[in-house]
Amino acid sequence: MSWLKEKLLQGKKLLEKTPQKEYLQMQELQPWLVGQAQRIITETKLEETLATYVQQLQAKRWQLEIKAEEWKTLAEGKKDLEEFFTEINALIHLLTFAEKQSVESVCTRSKELEKHLKEIKEYLDEYSEEGTTVVLSDGREAEQAIFTPFIKELLELETYRKEFEQKILQSRFRTLEILQEKRQQLESATQTLKLLQEKSTALQQRVQQAEEKRQEKVTELEQWKQHPSFGMFLRLEANRKVVKQNIALHQDEVVRFFSPLVPVLEAAKLHLSNPRIADNYIQDAENTFFHDEQLVIINLLQEIKNLGLEKPSSPFAVSLQHITVFLEKCVQAEAGHLHKLRQRQQELQQQGVSIAPSPEERGTLVKMEDAQYRLEHFSQQVTQIQQQLKEVEEEQNELLEQRTQEIGLFQHLVKMGLGKEVEVRI
């Protein structure tokens, strides 16, 4: 049985090497990541690496401060170098640290340093391409006395930064930074989903309330259908609908007639006997025509025609196209078109009056109209809220899918970057 014992021991060792899966709730991610960060800092001795890096940067800051004072003395009064010294001061500020520094804060500062070193290099390259020569107080050129020594300092700084970044990468601390970003995204998505769920619940309640109101009006209208006057109510509603459509068509026809006349009326109104009426037609032709019982507009059109707008000597700035349309409209007006429009308007007004109920029937019909109106109102309200609810639910589903993908990515990064198995639960 020795072979069996040996197999069991091998299986036990294999199980010991296999990482045990951890189950984490969303609120546990932050403390868990903090614990992993502390573990990595301890195992890889990052605090020592951090202390060495900060000491290197501080030493370089002291050197730059001394040299910057020397260079400023040499470059006194040289405005071409003011931007350069602004960059040096910014660099010295980046190399200044508080007494106690965390790995996270130094990593952030290191990224800022990388960006600033790149900007300084671009500035020096641009200065070199311009071919500018600045002679210092001791007779030397800035290129020789300042820029060349400064480039040496930059190269040393870049070396320190790369060495530090390499150790950070090897420690897998950067993975934790990415995981912290993913955690924040997950928490933000979870909070948004919570708000969307609250909004969805509120909309569902509103749909239910509106549907209850709609059903009440359905029941009320069904009761009105048994009333002797309901048939007349339906006929009146149908007739009103027809009259309303005819009025709308008539209004469109009035607007189509007068709209092309606006440029000509605008140009000629001050030369007319009644410029106020002309201006009213320019501003609101439909309403003005409705109140123009004497059709004063016909006389105004004739006055404009007599001004001779089409003549080359005409002082009015009106295009030939507008004049041509105007003359066509004048022909229609002279042929009685506006009288016909006015007559049709009066007929529609009379039709509206003729379908009005008698005083005895009015009270009952008003109640029927109110029931019909409220039914339509609540039906529209139900449809609108249902559409809003649908949009919120679609947004929820999209965000849920996105969060599920982010959770999968988080778990994958933990496995690949930290060598651990985790399952995030909501």
Predicted pLDDT at 290? 81
Q: Lowest-pLDDT range, 45-49, 130-134, 249-253, 302-306?
A: 130-134
Q: How many CA atoms lie within 13 A of 231 on its CB side?
A: 1
Q: pLDDT confidence of 411, banded at 50, 70, 90? A: very high
Q: How confident is the model at residue 70 (pLDDT cuts 50, 70, 90)?
A: confident
Q: How far apart are CA 336 and CA 330, in angstroms?
A: 10
Pairing state between β 422-425 and 22-25: parallel
> Which one-letter DSSP state was computed for residue 25?
E
Average predicted confidence (pLDDT) for the chain? 81
Q: Residue 403 has what pLDDT?
A: 93
Largest CA-CA distance found in the chain, in angstroms, rounded: 127
What does the pLDDT read at residue 310?
A: 63
pLDDT digits (tens, 9 = 90+) for 361-375: 555 666 667 777 787
- Which of the residue ranges 41-45, 254-258, 262-266, 401-405 has the most confident prediction, judged by mean pLDDT? 401-405
State the burial class of residue 138 (Cβ atoms within 10 Å of its Cβ: 0-12, 13-18, 19+).
exposed
Under the banding of pLDDT at 50, 70 and 90, the label for residue 136 is confident
pLDDT value at position 15? 44
Q: Residue 22: helix, strand or coil by DSSP?
A: strand
Integer Cα distance of 317 and 129 in angstroms: 59
d(CA 409, CA 412): 5
Residues 6+ apart with CB under 8 A from 307: 268, 271, 314, 316
Of the two residues 163 and 81, the one the predictor is more confident about is 163
Greater confidence (286 vs 364) lies with 286
Distance of CA 331 to the CA centre of its chain: 54
Helix axes 173-224, 359-413, angle to 10 degrees: 160
Check residue 23 and report its DSSP letter.
Answer: E
Highest mean pLDDT among 38-52, 78-92, 281-295, 377-391: 377-391
Q: Are 83 and 123 in contact (CB under 8 A)?
A: yes
Residue 204 has pLDDT above 90, yes or no: yes
Residue 399: what residue type?
L
Q: Name the pLDDT band for 311 (thresholds 50, 70, 90).
A: low
Comparing 282 with 319, the larger pLDDT belongs to 282
Window from 73-87, 97-111, 138-152, 358-372 with minimum mean pLDDT = 358-372
User: Quick one: which of 170, 51, 157, 59 has its CA closest to 112?
Assistant: 157
Q: Where are the domains of the chain?
A: 20-171, 230-369
pLDDT of 68 above 50: yes
Whole-number Å distance between alpha carbons of 271 and 155? 84
Residue 109, both tokens: 């500062």
Residues pairing with 425 in the sheet: 25
Spatial CA neighbour of 148 closest among 159, 160, 140:
140
* Most confident listed range (13-27, 54-68, 313-327): 54-68
Q: Which two tokens mark 133?
A: 């020569």
> The tokens of 232 are what?
């007349």
